[in-house]
């Protein structure tokens, strides 16, 4: 895995959180995007070399809705950039890690994504992402 691509932060109110992070990071949100397959609306910030993704649930079936109910707002996942997501998924599967889907799916900001179960990464939901 090459580097941390972004941190995902679950928020209740996306507009409030965007204003807050624009102030905190001192930079404007550069993109908002819906990802219907994940039940989320996202907002992205670039802070130097680092990227932050805010995630709000768009419906009650969204994993973000469940996360907010259970844990409240906070860091939801850590995403790692990979060159070849299929190869990395195969490697992890072979080592016994539980992947949360059999195939990569289109995520926000031009990525193919897949998740590793948080119980297999010491309580952190890990996302693999590859540029499309
Ligand atoms: N980080 C750390 N732990 C998490 C977690 C997270 N984001 N989400 C759930 N967990 C924990 C739960 O607290 C629970 O732990 P305990 O058993 O100790 O209470 C355990 O994982 C299992 O959780 P669950 O409530 O039984 O299962 P869920 O139905 O909530 O499913 C998960 C959890 C991770 C499998 C599911 O949320 C999932 O498939 N996530 C991947 C997709 C996703 O998160 N999409 C949104 C982001 C999309 C994007 O980035 O674009």
DSSP track, the chain: --EEEEEEEE-S-HHHHHHHHHHHHTS---EEEEEGGGTEEEEEEEETTEEEEEEEESSTTSHHHHHHHHH-SEEEEEEEE-S-HHHHHHHHHHTTPPBS-SS-EEETTTEEEEEE-GGGTTT--EEEEEE-
Report which protein residue has its CA nearest ligand 1's atom 42.
Answer: 63
Decide whether any atom of ligand 1 lies within 6 Å of the 39 Cβ.
no
Decide whether any atom of ligand 1 lies within 6 Å of the 67 Cβ.
yes
Best of 77, 105, 107, 126 to mutate for ligand 1, by most ligand atoms within 8 A of CB? 77
Reading the chain (132 residues) residue by residue, the pLDDT tens digits are 889 999 999 999 999 999 999 999 999 999 999 999 889 999 999 999 999 999 999 999 999 999 999 999 999 999 999 999 999 999 999 999 999 999 999 999 999 999 999 999 999 999 999 998
Q: Tell me, what's the pLDDT at 37?
A: 86
Report which protein residue has its CA nearest ligand 1's atom 21.
Answer: 118
Decide whether any atom of ligand 1 lies within 6 Å of the 107 Cβ.
yes
């Amino acid at each position: 895995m090459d580097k941390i691509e972004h941190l995902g932060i679950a928020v209740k109110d996306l507009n409030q959180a965007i204003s807050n992070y624009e102030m905190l990071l001192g930079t404007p949100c550069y993109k908002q995007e819906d990802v219907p397959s994940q039940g989320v609306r996202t907002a992205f910030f670039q802070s130097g070399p680092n990227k932050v993704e805010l995630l709000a649930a768009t419906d009650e079936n969204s994993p973000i809705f469940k996360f907010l109910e259970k844990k409240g707002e906070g860091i939801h996942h850590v995403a790692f950039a990979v060159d070849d997501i299929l190869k990395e998924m195969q490697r992890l599967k072979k080592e016994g890690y539980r992947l949360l889907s059999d195939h990569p799916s289109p995520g926000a900001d031009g990525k193919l994504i897949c998740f590793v179960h948080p119980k297999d990464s010491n309580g952190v939901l890990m996302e693999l992402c590859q540029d499309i």
